[in-house]
Structure 1
């Protein structure tokens, strides 16, 4: 299918004049019709409006969304005819549709205007009014800055390398934009799996288009950015809650070619005392790159390898691409052929293309039976060899063609006549499935891993569509060892989070090329504070383990990776919030400070949750950078000073990353360990969660979360929370700590430590529940430390410090 070259397309026609409106028998939808076209309207009870121009196959709603466990309840609607149109009301929303198709949506603190509906062949488009002060974020994995206005963006999953600031199509396709400014936020999701477009070059109008399929528009009426992400992940699925070990530090390269080399890397991490939870196996572990096989010379005993590493607290994650080698003696090819599993042309001939193993066929993941078959392959392989998790790569799908020297022969995603089958008599063109191919592979993989298991699976995916967060973490693909890519990783990952995908991160150090020691040091400092933290590098490049850059850089890496492990209770709290509400873990400054206009312009800093501000050093040779601190006072843990809002020059020598904790900040901390495996038994003994909570004086609140870190027992009520508040009152700092857990959970046994900063002089008094209490003032750290007795369920502990 030829992509659209112009928006609006040339030689297009407008939508037919709307002359009829009919409310459904259940009063949950309204159809608005012309002689040629139909719009349908649904309003959901969480300020979500869906308007759909019916056209072609609706793969998202028929196949994808039912897999995502959407949380949507439609409102009962009322329909009224007015002059030149119709008015639909439901819940808090009112929708006015004029005869030319213009749509006005209003709700308290929000509105949206859609119009200019048009068609050109199978393509459909619509325009949306943008306010001049409105900035546009999201759109998934895109290059460039944080605000996406001023460019046209295409959503088409593509294997691209290297990418530069002007690259458009990337590995992920997420047709969702978040519009925000001081005073409010709203969002739009185009639920269409074909190639789609967002033209933001006009100062007043966004043009949204699709090559084929329905123009299914979800309008999210906010009115806050948190509301928009809640609304979007109700439509596209809540993010997965990963196992705790997936939050640990991870090491990879293309490739650790032998099990001896894998052992050496693991041993060096342990010998040097650098925390590590995961080592990855790239494609060279396989026999001739055949999926679900081992090269017997390089990996003679993989089960023994994974057990040995597990005993050291290290999991193995192995790559699994979608291309299956054509080989009549290969069991997976035999099994797939017996299942008639392959994507094919309309005449039934399997689609073929070269990838790493040579000429391959590709599973048709649109079919549930093939997803189940694929999931069983993953499950049997993981269980047989003790594999910790799966890494899906090349799943755009990346294709080299039947003969890479002659691309005209075919073997590409754009070949005419490639079809998928959602039922024997219902062929669907590949260009309608291409964008969700990786998502459907992920669904099959994870469902297979979860079958008859109570253990949380881990899947990492390079490609995906809106909803990939329901099954997988995402990394940003094959970046380069450039300072520009270090800097670009910040807005790219923020925007993925603002698109509903919170578990994200880049290849630390860069995949292509070789980072200098300085670049690697700055990248590891930054990377450990991203939700997903993994070093990865290309074949033929120098070693990129932390010790490969000399002792000074190794010391920096060890220190900062250690910070990540101490922050695990905080990270677990943020991941649980993301799982429950869709809230991103890595956030733009305006997320917490929506009334601060300058916060919308900062794209080289980010918030880790609500409490920590991270300001990476992104320029070579820099030992100072200017940092913007929004709207409140901030504590600098390096200097132990309180800084006021605004711009500040901050000293940042090579071993120092500017980090700040907001006034009223509450940061739960755990023990320093070399692996999350050391924390595994703490749940059973009531010792899970933070050992220490660092509190910055001011006004704030946080509820810390913990569970066993491995199973789905939390869904059955096995979890603990610690609700903490801090409040200034005259000369006093008042802290309240409350333990919360269901009846079935064993009460905690540990004595929780509190560290309260800053105290440059000794407090005159401390009371705990009205009684005098002990505390230790540490002048060199300008803080007060005290220890609480074991918490009792729902019984607040009150501390007053004067």
Structure 2
């Protein structure tokens, strides 16, 4: 299928097959250009970005040229639009013009999704979404006291559009997708029902267009475009990964989980390299090696890892692309030229990460990528038996530093998570561990899919709040899955505990119920572990975690099939309902339940105190309730949902029906 331009009336249409992509008229131009004047402020990964554009030009006429059209204003050529294959190239031709807004054609009631990993909204219509990787913020709802307080304290309140993983790609219910092939600051704006607007902070922009007969084919095309992840290893899907960070006692605590009957596949100790206490809570010591601090906290770690491996339990750790100034590796990295520098000097550019400063490892330099992959991830981690890690951060690249390759930090900022993912993937490949060891990331951008095998949803608050609590991890998985990320999971129990907001028993129970129906189930002690309930705080919570870990392990044969599907088709494990039922427009906005593959429907309880919930069963034919065996016809139902019985349904004609029928017995063990 080729893009083509068709003249008509006082303008032209840009068509892809028989679908209108752009409609330009003299009275309603498809492109507007201007000159920008940006102001960017960053504080601890939170950004405040404003722009005061001037000299706006809206072309009033056009003429055909080789491969496209030229757009004119007052008789002067101000921009060009050329097409080739499925790509649109747009250029602002006036001096100093470095802002453009392209208006893509929209039909009434056309649904829109995408934007990368979105936390608050799956369907994007009616809102705008700046594309800039950053901390998502705490609270993420400007009407709440927590968000207002975090804004006042550290610019850290966030909003509905803030995300660790944005991506300038959108899909529509005409089964079209449009991708901006650029890393500059941009905005997807769906506030006007007459068009889908994309703002681009650049004088040039390249867009790619995709089309298919339905959403599955469209998602498959996008996954091919951005890269598919390897299948998750058996150990990662065959039980729970227990997250503990209490030093050597973590190994003793793990035994309590095993004695309680938990199916354990891994122990994740993010504190392996040391800790430091801050006002935010217990933080890690950002010096990624098994030196004195590591040995003090985890004596003879290599032998302990080997002992776990003999029992079929993997050990996971933590790393990020920054090195603390008071760490042992800082001097080595500085001498090797591995840090980003200040613009006006050869001094290392330091970033305040919350009561400690760090150098930013410069991944635009090939020698540095090799050094980090080999020296840290290879020798310090993989070579001592570590089988995976949280590859944290990647969102903090400031825009006022100097990069080794001379690139503009405003252009490099969104690319940074992709470079970080590539370094981690290189380390796995260097040891022949691709598809065996697993790292997981929260930060991302276009192309991270080709390197990162597993997403996690970031730092949710330890609560049920609409924009920052347990429910956001569902939206995150569904939105990321539409743009080519097959596997997602979350911190079981949540992470951020501030200003008296602490975990409740109910939250811990409900999060277990949700986490069991994700490809990877992993707990986290949170940023303030001493102030919060942990899964080994009491016998009831320990039994709850053990019970749902067994459910997760029981589903491994089905998840293995979903991994096969992801590799072959690009379809994610967790899917919006409309992905399989595109002829039901009522499903386009459903984001609080999902299909786990095609045969299992999961409707987690994400409202505090709820003992029943509304569930939509799509399509034709019955759905069978996993815990009661009762069959339900398609449609909306009010389903009882007491603790330990979240609404989960399966297709009785599924090849895995016997496996699903066995879930009740596993839960009751």
- Contact 2:273–2:289 (CA under 8 A) maintained in structure 1: no
C-alpha distance 280-653 of structure 1, shift in aligned 2 (>3 A): same
- Contact 2:475–2:592 (CA under 8 A) maintained in structure 1: yes
2:483 to 475, 499, 523: 499
- Determine whether 1:419 maps to 2:383: no
Q: Whole-Å Cα distance in 2 between the matches of residues 118 and 475 of structure 1?
A: 43
The answer for the alignment partner of 1:662 in structure 2 is: 651
Deviation of the 1:213 alpha carbon: 6.1
- Contact 1:392–1:461 (CA under 8 A) maintained in structure 2: yes
Q: Whole-Å Cα distance in 1 between the matches of residues 477 and 660 of structure 2?
A: 27
C-alpha distance 333-623 of structure 1, shift in aligned 2 (>3 A): closer
Deviation of the 1:564 alpha carbon: 1.3
C-alpha distance 160-367 of structure 1, shift in aligned 2 (>3 A): same
The answer for the alignment partner of 1:463 in structure 2 is: 443
Q: Whole-Å Cα distance in 2 between the matches of residues 118 and 486 of structure 1?
A: 48
**462-471 vs 147-156, which moves further:** 462-471
2:640 to 651, 672, 681: 651
- Contact 1:12–1:120 (CA under 8 A) maintained in structure 2: no
The answer for the alignment partner of 1:785 in structure 2 is: none
- Deviations 1:348-396 (CA, angstroms, capped at 9, x unpaired): 5232223379332222212333222221121122243211113211321
C-alpha distance 382-54 of structure 1, shift in aligned 2 (>3 A): farther
- Contact 2:97–2:203 (CA under 8 A) maintained in structure 1: no
Q: Whole-Å Cα distance in 2 between the matches of residues 544 and 357 of structure 1?
A: 26
- Contact 1:342–1:361 (CA under 8 A) maintained in structure 2: yes
Deviation of the 1:53 alpha carbon: 2.1
C-alpha distance 583-348 of structure 1, shift in aligned 2 (>3 A): farther
SS of the residue aligned with 1:212? Answer: coil
Q: Whole-Å Cα distance in 2 between the matches of residues 441 and 631 of structure 1?
A: 41
SS of the residue aligned with 2:615? Answer: strand
C-alpha distance 347-279 of structure 1, shift in aligned 2 (>3 A): same
Q: Whole-Å Cα distance in 2 between the matches of residues 119 and 541 of structure 1?
A: 58
C-alpha distance 624-158 of structure 1, shift in aligned 2 (>3 A): same
- Contact 1:13–1:120 (CA under 8 A) maintained in structure 2: no
- Determine whether 1:362 maps to 2:365: no
Higher-Rg member (1/2): 1
**Unmatched segments (≥5 aa) in structure 1:** 23-29, 44-48, 56-116, 399-412, 669-691, 696-754, 758-779, 782-802
- Determine whether 1:476 maps to 2:446: no
**Unmatched segments (≥5 aa) in structure 2:** 1-37, 41-48, 72-76, 142-158, 276-284
C-alpha distance 263-660 of structure 1, shift in aligned 2 (>3 A): same
Q: Whole-Å Cα distance in 1 between the matches of residues 338 and 61 of structure 2?
A: 45
- Contact 1:238–1:579 (CA under 8 A) maintained in structure 2: yes
The answer for the alignment partner of 1:13 in structure 2 is: 57
- Determine whether 1:274 maps to 2:262: yes
List 4+ stretches of structure 1 deviating above 6 A.
117-120
**303-312 vs 346-355, which moves further:** 346-355
- Contact 1:666–1:694 (CA under 8 A) maintained in structure 2: no
- Determine whether 1:245 maps to 2:235: yes
The answer for the alignment partner of 1:621 in structure 2 is: 609
Q: Report the aligned-residue RMSD.
A: 2.9
Deviation of the 1:119 alpha carbon: 10
- Contact 1:258–1:285 (CA under 8 A) maintained in structure 2: no
- Contact 1:635–1:661 (CA under 8 A) maintained in structure 2: yes
- Deviations 1:39-80 (CA, angstroms, capped at 9, x unpaired): 44332xxxxx1112257xxxxxxxxxxxxxxxxxxxxxxxxx
2:423 to 439, 444, 467: 444
Q: Whole-Å Cα distance in 2 between the matches of residues 213 and 447 of structure 1?
A: 34
C-alpha distance 213-245 of structure 1, shift in aligned 2 (>3 A): farther
SS of the residue aligned with 1:546? Answer: coil
- Deviations 1:179-206 (CA, angstroms, capped at 9, x unpaired): 12xxx41111112111110111112212
C-alpha distance 629-51 of structure 1, shift in aligned 2 (>3 A): same
1:373 to 360, 371, 374: 371
- Deviations 1:388-428 (CA, angstroms, capped at 9, x unpaired): 11321132127xxxxxxxxxxxxxx143xx23233xxxx11
- Contact 1:517–1:549 (CA under 8 A) maintained in structure 2: no
Deviation of the 1:609 alpha carbon: 0.3
The answer for the alignment partner of 1:389 in structure 2 is: 388
The answer for the alignment partner of 2:99 in structure 1 is: 123
Deviation of the 1:18 alpha carbon: 5.8
C-alpha distance 527-385 of structure 1, shift in aligned 2 (>3 A): same
- Determine whether 1:177 maps to 2:170: yes
**What TM-score do you get using the length of structure 2 for normalisation?**
0.79
Deviation of the 1:557 alpha carbon: 2.9
Q: How does 1:550-589 map to 2 (within 5 A)?
A: 550-551=539-540, 553-589=541-577
Q: Whole-Å Cα distance in 2 between the matches of residues 592 and 311 of structure 1?
A: 42
C-alpha distance 454-554 of structure 1, shift in aligned 2 (>3 A): closer
- Deviations 1:416-442 (CA, angstroms, capped at 9, x unpaired): xx23233xxxx1111111112121011
The answer for the alignment partner of 1:92 in structure 2 is: none
**585-594 vs 637-646, which moves further:** 637-646
C-alpha distance 512-152 of structure 1, shift in aligned 2 (>3 A): same
- Contact 1:479–1:510 (CA under 8 A) maintained in structure 2: yes
SS of the residue aligned with 2:396? Answer: coil
- Determine whether 1:333 maps to 2:330: yes
The answer for the alignment partner of 2:279 in structure 1 is: none
The answer for the alignment partner of 2:9 in structure 1 is: none
The answer for the alignment partner of 1:512 in structure 2 is: 496
- Contact 2:425–2:434 (CA under 8 A) maintained in structure 1: no
- Deviations 1:651-705 (CA, angstroms, capped at 9, x unpaired): 222121111112522227xxxxxxxxxxxxxxxxxxxxxxx6569xxxxxxxxxx
The answer for the alignment partner of 2:587 in structure 1 is: 599
1:2 to 15, 25, 39: 39
- Contact 2:247–2:271 (CA under 8 A) maintained in structure 1: no
**284-293 vs 557-566, which moves further:** 284-293
2:132 to 156, 160, 168: 156
- Determine whether 1:50 maps to 2:87: yes
C-alpha distance 527-353 of structure 1, shift in aligned 2 (>3 A): same
The answer for the alignment partner of 1:789 in structure 2 is: none
2:619 to 631, 634, 654: 631
Q: Whole-Å Cα distance in 2 between the matches of residues 247 and 452 of structure 1?
A: 22
Q: Whole-Å Cα distance in 1 between the matches of residues 59 and 411 of structure 2?
A: 22
The answer for the alignment partner of 2:274 in structure 1 is: 286
Between the two proteins, the alignment pairs up a number of residues equal to 574
Q: Whole-Å Cα distance in 2 between the matches of residues 229 and 175 of structure 1?
A: 15
**What TM-score do you get using the length of structure 1 for normalisation?**
0.67
Q: Whole-Å Cα distance in 2 between the matches of residues 243 and 667 of structure 1?
A: 20
**643-652 vs 157-166, which moves further:** 157-166
The answer for the alignment partner of 1:41 in structure 2 is: 83
